Structure 1
């Protein structure tokens, strides 16, 4: 089980063999490696695949002070959204440590939501990114469209008396369309199980949320000099689609593709079409 060390924190990653330039998949806020399983399976074989767990997620260490998880939830959440939060820049440093440990000289970096923020920061600060693919993400800052308050409240809520599985299902509801969840009950059951096995703990998820809220690289995107593919669902209830349009306006060498009616997790709901587009981009950079 390969591990890298970043600022004293052990970061776990998986590695699949392949012949072409590695593809590294960066997870969204709180989500485990399961979220990329469809694209990862399609890419593996032709490309080497690197799949790290964000700090605090899956098998990676959280790197939080030991007392923090023991604090009352409201106090803990306030601290982890502010002075004790992770930073996107720190998570980009984690990614650099993983690629250094893996001996990767260049990689296609694919990130969704918080992972897309990490991918932006990574391309700005480090030299290994060959291309970027940014899904359902934002550059942050005052001119970006914030997560709707109703969605924010839902993502962090815990229904009274709910079981662990019910909480996991409840919190991801805004990320999918009702049509998809209604048509795929067995898959949703499996996703709940994957979430319980691989997702971040509540304290780590809160620290990741603090990193996402503080993210702001809108005035630096012109410095990104690698081909970039921006993918976004038009009905994203978590990160509004206008954020994808802003990224495409500000990153010089960008292709924007929107998915009509697509949710925040459109790359799961419409995995075949997203994977086809990603593979074409990895092949040609266009």
Structure 2
């Protein structure tokens, strides 16, 4: 792990590979380690920077509240602190929300953008999944006793059965009460952005079996981002970078290298998902 002082905090990150820089933004429950297998797939093509956000992993920050804007500023400051003018950015789930804000607030810092299994900034997560989210929140409050059921919102049950070690992403969480409180309050802080202001070439990526953020919602972000492309990975849940890192990496590598991604979803009337260019959703 390396460390850099940026935007008033001490950011811990893991660097691997060589080539154009690519920064990875983890989800709300995780830290940089969720990308270990994914980064290994990307490293032959990019210099991969997987970093810990505020109150995550080994990053150190003041015990004061913050919102998505401050987290987006951290990303821009990290890029600059690494001596880079700009970089590719991949954000998943909560990290995808941070990436959206960064792309609007710091457009010169973002080269190409990938938003994976994420939700639109400014929309209540509970409203996105009104049937599943109340149970998800209840299970979250009962951790670690509810771990197995909670994890099914992130991975298909069949994957958990064959990969019980995947539960470590939740059981290994070492945040103290203050850190959990600050992270949990981020989305309640008001922020308004227009996705139409995102100028970076963008890929919006979803797992078809995502139980936490409905893939149709994730893919709908592309409607508001000029020229955005969409892709769906079959058989993958919310955390595709762990469940099938090779499949997610294949989509990301092709897009960041300017090639057409191979498994763009075709129209699927049965689930309301369409893929291709942003306006086809």
Give the shorter-chain TM-score range: 0.7 to 0.9
1:157 is aligned to 142
1:242 is aligned to 216
State how far apart, in whole Å, the 2-side matches of 1:215 and 1:131 are: 26
Matches within 5 A, 1:23-38: 23-38=22-37
State how far apart, in whole Å, the 1-side matches of 2:28 and 2:148 are: 15
When normalised by structure 1's length, the TM-score is: 0.79
1:47-93 CA distance string (max 9 Å, x none): 1111110111110114215xxxxxxxxxxxxxxxxxx4x31111111
Tell me whether 1:10 sits opposite 2:10 in the alignment: yes
1:203 is aligned to 178
State how far apart, in whole Å, the 2-side matches of 1:103 and 1:197 are: 32
When normalised by structure 2's length, the TM-score is: 0.81
Conservation of the 8 A alpha-carbon contact between 1:31 and 1:200 = no
Conservation of the 8 A alpha-carbon contact between 1:30 and 1:205 = no
Conservation of the 8 A alpha-carbon contact between 1:232 and 1:259 = yes
2:105 is aligned to 125
Q: In the TM superposition, what is the alpha-carbon distance from 1:202 to its structure 2 partner?
A: 4.4
State how far apart, in whole Å, the 2-side matches of 1:111 and 1:61 are: 21
1:75 is aligned to none
2:154 is aligned to 175
> Which of the pair has the greater relative contact order for Cα pairs under 8 Å at 6+ separation?
1
Q: In the TM superposition, what is the alpha-carbon distance from 1:141 to its structure 2 partner?
A: 2.9
Alignment RMSD, CA only? 2.5
Selected match of 2:93 from 108, 113, 135:
113
Using a 3 Å threshold, how does the CA distance of structure 1 residues 16 and 143 change in structure 2: closer, same or farther?
closer
Using a 3 Å threshold, how does the CA distance of structure 1 residues 284 and 202 change in structure 2: closer, same or farther?
farther
Secondary structure (helix, strand or coil) at the match of 1:242 reads helix
2:121 is aligned to 140
2:62 is aligned to 63
Count of paired positions: 255
Secondary structure (helix, strand or coil) at the match of 1:174 reads coil
Q: In the TM superposition, what is the alpha-carbon distance from 1:183 to its structure 2 partner?
A: 1.8
Conservation of the 8 A alpha-carbon contact between 2:5 and 2:11 = yes
Q: In the TM superposition, what is the alpha-carbon distance from 1:110 to its structure 2 partner?
A: 0.3
Structure 2 unpaired stretches of 5+: 261-281
Using a 3 Å threshold, how does the CA distance of structure 1 residues 270 and 213 change in structure 2: closer, same or farther?
farther
Structure 1 unpaired stretches of 5+: 66-83
